[in-house]
Every structure is written in structure tokens, then in C-alpha cells.
């Protein structure tokens, strides 16, 4: 069971993209500007090195470089969650320990998987998370996402929450996320310190209704997500629903058409970063998709489109 000594993390914690130059090398100045823009746009926390940060195209040395650059630059202005996912228990625990040493507020970890078929059974997943917990003294967020291909049942998640000391947050982004969040909160009780929404907020309103207390979205428009989450938590449901209706076309376009490229395209358009490079072999966004994304975003006037102008 978690023994958190801090107020539970709540609110909007978007994923920071990894910024590359035109040749696909790390752009640390752009990385810092991206973090600043996201904080200025209302992010209550940040997440780095996640799948939407293209963590799967980074070398271990580059991961450490981004980790250090962002945490030193943010310097405690907002809490930063660091994704430390790895198939190896040893490597994941070491990554998590380094993240804590550099100032991470939390680590986010998917269950161990590799490729399309390398999976481990529940007892091994339990031991994996327990070992990570034993290596650190900050909370662990379980990322329950389809990309891992590992079914995580509600009883199993609730059991881990009750028995593994640091494991207290759950980012649920599988199909029927709201139903799973609701069942997890019921099964885990007080051990479920942070039930969170994910997947670019495509199911945000239903997830909030199910009891979600945090939202980890794409990084392009945290100000828009705040327009939904803040009134919801203040009990102004009609205002939250109206805001969700306004922002949903952009949320949908990012989730269904763009993926991780959306944030970087918006940041480049707004002068935050110089290049919106996706590291190969990922393709650049099609010009027609790009134009559609920017058209929808301009109607909403997010901070990202004027921050660098």
C-alpha cells in the first residue's frame, strides 16, 4: 500500500515531446522552450520520455540527456513524471532510481513487454513492479495501454496497489477506459491514489465521470484541457461539458489523424521550436493533415500558436 507523504498529484500533466533538429539530432534549446511553453499554457505537471515523446527512438545516452536537461530547466516549477519503461526489471529499476535522483516527482511504467509477442505472466509482472518500488521512494504510475499488449485485470491492479508500497497511480487508456477506472476505484479504494485519464483526452469527460483525478494528454494545448478539467473539479459540470464540446474536434484530430506529431507541428507553427522533425522511420505529417490540424487549432487560439510569436 502506498505511503505517500505529499498531496496527491492531480490535474493536467501533458507529455512533453522530444525535440529534434532538421537532421534528427536532439535540440536541447527547443526542448527547454517546449517545456516553458507548456508550463506557461497551464500545465500543472509534465511527463517526459513517454511514448508520445518518441522514447522508443532514443538511445540510453539521449534519454539521460533529455532527463537532465528538462529537470534542471523546469527546476521544480511543476512536478515532472519520468517514463522509465523497460522489459528488464533491473534496467527499469535503475532508470527509475536515476530519475528520482535527478528530481522526478513520479515514474510511469508499462508492464514488461518486447515486440509483438514477448510477455510475462502476472506473478512476474507483480515482482517487476515490486522491484521498481523497492528501488525508489517516489510514486509509480502504471501505464495500462494497448501498446504493451498485456492484459492487466482490475483485481490484479487493485492487488498491486494495496500490496506494493509506491504503486499508487494508474493511467488507463485501454478500450472502455471509464468502466475500468470506475471498477478499479471500487476495487482498490484508498490505495488508488491517482486514477488518471490518457490517450490524448479522447475519453476525458467519461473518465472524469468515472472518478479520474488527472489527465495525461498530448502537449499541444494544456490550456484547452484545463478549460475542461478545472470547472469539472469545481462542480461546474455544464461549463466543463461546453468546454469539452469546443475542444473535442482538436482532441479528435490529434488522436485519430496525427498522433505524436501533433504537438510538435503546433509548436513549430507557433514559433516555439524551429523544427517539428519526427525521427525516422516515422514519417512526417502529410501537408493536408497538417493544414487541417492548424485550421482547427486556430479557431480555438491555444497558447502554443502565439507563445513564440
Q: How much of the chain is helix, strand and coil, in % rounded to 5? A: 50, 10, 35
Instruction: Enumerate the H helices of the chain as residue ranges.
Output: 28-40, 60-74, 89-102, 122-135, 154-163, 177-188, 204-210, 222-233, 237-253, 261-269, 287-300
Which of 248, 280, 251 minimizes the C-alpha distance to 263? 251
Which of 150, 58, 70, 147 minimizes the C-alpha distance to 103? 70
CB count, 10 Å around CB of 102? 15
Phi-psi region of 113 (alpha: psi -120 to 50; beta: other; left: phi over 0): beta
With beta carbons less than 8 A apart as the criterion, state whether 307 and 272 touch.
yes
Q: Report d(CA 10, CA 19) in Å as an integer.
A: 26
Question: Residue 215 forms beta bridges with which residues?
Answer: 12, 197
Active-site residue (options: 162, 171, 180, 264)? 171
Q: What does the block give as the cell for 107?
A: 515514474
The verdict on whether 264 is a catalytic residue reads no
Q: Report d(CA 216, CA 94) in Å as an integer.
A: 24
Q: What does the block give as the cell for 155?
A: 483485481
With beta carbons less than 8 A apart as the criterion, state whether 170 and 196 touch.
yes
**Which residues are known catalytic residues?**
171
Amino acid at each position: 500500500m502506498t505511503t505517500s507523504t505529499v498531496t496527491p498529484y492531480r490535474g493536467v500533466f501533458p507529455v512533453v515531446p522530444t525535440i529534434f533538429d532538421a537532421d534528427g539530432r536532439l535540440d536541447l534549446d527547443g526542448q527547454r522552450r517546449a517545456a516553458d511553453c507548456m508550463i506557461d499554457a497551464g500545465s500543472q505537471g509534465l511527463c517526459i520520455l513517454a511514448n508520445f515523446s518518441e522514447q522508443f527512438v532514443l538511445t540510453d545516452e539521449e534519454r539521460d540527456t533529455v532527463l537532465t536537461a528538462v529537470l534542471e530547466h523546469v527546476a521544480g516549477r511543476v512536478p515532472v513524471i519520468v517514463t522509465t519503461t523497460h522489459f528488464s526489471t533491473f534496467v527499469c529499476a535503475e532508470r527509475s532510481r536515476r530519475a528520482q535522483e535527478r528530481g522526478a516527482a513520479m515514474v510511469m511504467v508499462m508492464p514488461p513487454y518486447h515486440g509483438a509477442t514477448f510477455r510475462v505472466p502476472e506473478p512476474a509482472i507483480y515482482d517487476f513492479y515490486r522491484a521498481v518500488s523497492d528501488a525508489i521512494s517516489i510514486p509509480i504510475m502504471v501505464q495500462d495501454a494497448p501498446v504493451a499488449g498485456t492484459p492487466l485485470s482490475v483485481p490484479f491492479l487493485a492487488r498491486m496497489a494495496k500490496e506494493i508500497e509506491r504503486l499508487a497511480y494508474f493511467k488507463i487508456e485501454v478500450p472502455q477506459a471509464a468502466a475500468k477506472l470506475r471498477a478499479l476505484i471500487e476495487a482498490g479504494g484508498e490505495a488508488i491514489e491517482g486514477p488518471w485519464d490518457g490517450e490524448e483526452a479522447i475519453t476525458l469527460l467519461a473518465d472524469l465521470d468515472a472518478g479520474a483525478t488527472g489527465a495525461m494528454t498530448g502537449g499541444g494545448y494544456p490550456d484547452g484541457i484545463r478549460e475542461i478539467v478545472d470547472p469539472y473539479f469545481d462542480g461546474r459540470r455544464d461549463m466543463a461539458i461546453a468546454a469539452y464540446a469546443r475542444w473535442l474536434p482538436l482532441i479528435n484530430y490529434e488522436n485519430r489523424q496525427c498522433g505524436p506529431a501533433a504537438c510538435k507541428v503546433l509548436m513549430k507553427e507557433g514559433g516555439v521550436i524551429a523544427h517539428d522533425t519526427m525521427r525516422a522511420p516515422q514519417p512526417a505529417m502529410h501537408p493536408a493533415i497538417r493544414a487541417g490540424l492548424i485550421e482547427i487549432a486556430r479557431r480555438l487560439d491555444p497558447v502554443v500558436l502565439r507563445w513564440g510569436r
